[in-house]
């Protein structure tokens, strides 16, 4: 294997494509920042126990997909496979829930790791932007998060995504449904691993993508028939609030998501242009997670949206983002004195907030102008010995090709005026 090759199932982000990923992160986080969500950052690894207890020991994430390591001191750590458990742990450790202002609203962005069979849209290292609202049981919070995700996707120009919505009940009504589902599933023709799952987390069997399994689930008991009155009322209010906001969704009674901690509201954002890996994001309410990891009762709700999946969705729809040029002005010096002077002009432009670059390496005019072209700069500044003797620089408009001599002392002000 080449030394210059990323590990299997991972990817590098390099310019110019990386600019799209940055724009997607910005678009997803913008509505959150405008809605009272503060930024949080957690370590790339945690104690294994956090995910085993929080995400669930029966999940594929914990049993098959988690990267674990043993430290020199003998501690068991895991690269984070998802963000919610880490964010909740950090909020509890910092006592954010005791500051008297619930819910604690947080957003985050980072890389996550799962050992999976690599395929398009499914990597072993992937990027997400997430949001969590901790410490309040309010259907308006569930609705807020769904509406903000919808707003983020639409701001990017995405139109062909769908929102799937379901309720998983709570600790009162879900055990009754779980028992009915187990009774039904035990009579089916299923493999040993799936049979084990029936005993640990039978709802996950509903999420099985295999056609032969789905065929047998046609007459499975429906969770909606077992919801208690409180869960029904909660779900109806979430639906009503989303509808009133003009956000379109589909009810999907088989939607359970792949994590054990979800209760009541659960939702997924899917894009049909991505093939089998159609989910671009998802989330739900997790009222019992804080207690699962040893904290107090803190009803919460959140989501995570895949940055790489969102980029694939944009490509599937043929949406090209209007990305700002990384360079507005490119300086080309001809000779040592011009090099010193124009470097000073570039520094001045940057301090004024203008994106400027410089022809490094002492190249000739032809090579430097090629670089200026490739940079996407709107203007180039060119100066040689004769220009400096006259106290001017040549300002070239790269779109029209028009070139004018501008007094050196006024070059920065002139560019600022032209660039608005």
CATH of the domain at 241: 3.30.930.10
The counts of H helices and E strands in the chain are 16, 16
pLDDT of residue 122: 80
Question: What H or E segment, with its residue span, contains residue 292?
Answer: helix 289-292
Specify whether 236 is located in the same domain as 120: yes
Look up the CATH number of the domain holding residue 370.
3.40.50.800
Specify whether 335 is located in the same domain as 311: no
pLDDT of residue 2: 66
pLDDT of residue 80: 93
Specify whether 45 is located in the same domain as 135: yes
Residue 202 lies in a domain: no
Specify whether 260 is located in the same domain as 406: no
Cα–Cα distance for residue pair 16/324, rounded to 1 Å: 11
pLDDT of residue 394: 96
Whether 260 contacts 207, CB under 8 Å: no
Range(s) of the domain holding residue 248: 18-173+227-317
Q: Is 23 exposed, middle or buried (0-12, 13-18, 19+ CB in 10 A)?
A: middle
Which residue, among 102, 120, 49, has the nearest Cα to 78 in the 3D structure? 49
Residues whose CB is less than 8 angstroms from the CB of residue 25 and which lie 6 or more positions away in sequence, other chains included:
109, 127, 129, 307
pLDDT of residue 203: 82
Specify whether 304 is located in the same domain as 409: no
Please list, residue by residue across 165-192, b when 16 or more beta carbons sit within 10 angstroms of its beta carbon and e when fewer do: bbbbbbeebbeebbebbeebbeeeebee
Choose the final residue of a domain: 294, 317, 340.
317
Question: Phi/psi zone of residue 72: left (φ > 0), alpha (ψ -120 to 50 degrees), beta?
Answer: alpha
Specify whether 68 is located in the same domain as 107: yes
Choose the final residue of a domain: 265, 295, 317.
317
Instruction: Please tell me the total count of domains within the chain.
Output: 2
Residue 215 lies in a domain: no
Specify whether 236 is located in the same domain as 272: yes
pLDDT of residue 305: 97
pLDDT of residue 1: 58
Give per-residue pLDDT as tens, 192-229.
888 888 888 788 788 787 888 888 888 889 888 999 99
Specify whether 412 is located in the same domain as 344: yes
What is the phi/psi pair of residue 382, to 5°? -120, 135
* Regions of the chain with pLDDT less than 50: none
Choose the final residue of a domain: 269, 294, 317.
317
Residue 195 lies in a domain: no
pLDDT of residue 288: 87
Specify whether 307 is located in the same domain as 337: no
Specify whether 311 is located in the same domain as 343: no
Dihedral angle of Cα 18, 109, 287, 270, to the nearest 10 degrees = -10
Specify whether 272 is located in the same domain as 400: no
Specify whether 397 is located in the same domain as 292: no
């Amino acid at each position: 294997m080449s030394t210059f090759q990323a590990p299997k199932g991972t990817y590098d982000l390099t310019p110019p494509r990386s600019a799209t990923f940055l724009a997607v992160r910005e678009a997803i986080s913008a509505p959150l920042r405008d809605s009272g969500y503060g930024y949080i950052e957690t370590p790339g690894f945690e104690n294994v126990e956090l995910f085993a207890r929080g995400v669930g020991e029966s999940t594929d994430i914990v049993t098959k997909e988690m990267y674990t390591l043993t430290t020199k001191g003998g501690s068991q750590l895991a690269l984070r496979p998802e963000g919610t458990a880490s964010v909740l742990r950090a909020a509890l450790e910092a006592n954010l829930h005791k500051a008297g202002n619930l819910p604690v609203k947080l957003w985050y962005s980072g890389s996550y790791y799962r050992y999976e069979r690599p395929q398009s849209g499914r990597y072993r290292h992937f990027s997400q932007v997430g949001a969590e609202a901790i410490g309040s049981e309010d259907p308006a919070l569930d609705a807020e998060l769904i509406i903000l995700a919808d707003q983020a996707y639409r701001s990017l120009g995405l139109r062909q995504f769908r929102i799937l919505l379901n309720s998983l009940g709570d600790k009162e009504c879900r055990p009754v449904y779980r028992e009915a589902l187990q009774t039904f599933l035990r009579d089916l023709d299923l493999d040993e691993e799936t049979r084990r799952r029936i005993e640990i987390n039978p709802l996950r069997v509903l999420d099985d993508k295999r056609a032969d399994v789905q065929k047998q689930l046609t007459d499975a008991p429906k969770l909606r028939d077992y919801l208690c009155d409180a869960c029904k009322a909660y779900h109806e209010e979430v639906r009503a609030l989303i509808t009133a906001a003009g956000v379109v969704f589909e009810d999907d009674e088989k939607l359970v998501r792949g994590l054990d901690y979800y209760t009541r509201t659960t939702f997924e954002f899917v894009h049909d242009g991505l093939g089998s890996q159609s989910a671009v994001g998802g989330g739900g309410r997790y009222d019992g997670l804080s207690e699962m990891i040893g904290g107090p009762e803190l009803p919460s709700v959140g989501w995570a949206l895949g940055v790489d999946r969102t980029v694939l969705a944009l490509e599937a729809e043929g949406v090209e983002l209007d990305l700002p040029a990384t360079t507005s002005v490119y300086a080309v010096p001809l000779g040592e004195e011009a090099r010193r002077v124009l470097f000073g002009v570039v520094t001045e432009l940057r301090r004024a907030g203008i994106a400027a670059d410089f022809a490094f390496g002492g190249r000739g005019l032809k090579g430097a102008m090629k670089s200026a072209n490739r940079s996407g700069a709107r203007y180039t500044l060119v100066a040689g010995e004769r220009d400096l003797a006259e106290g001017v620089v040549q300002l070239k408009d790269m779109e029209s090709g028009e070139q004018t001599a501008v007094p050196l002392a006024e070059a920065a002000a002139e560019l600022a005026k032209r660039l608005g």
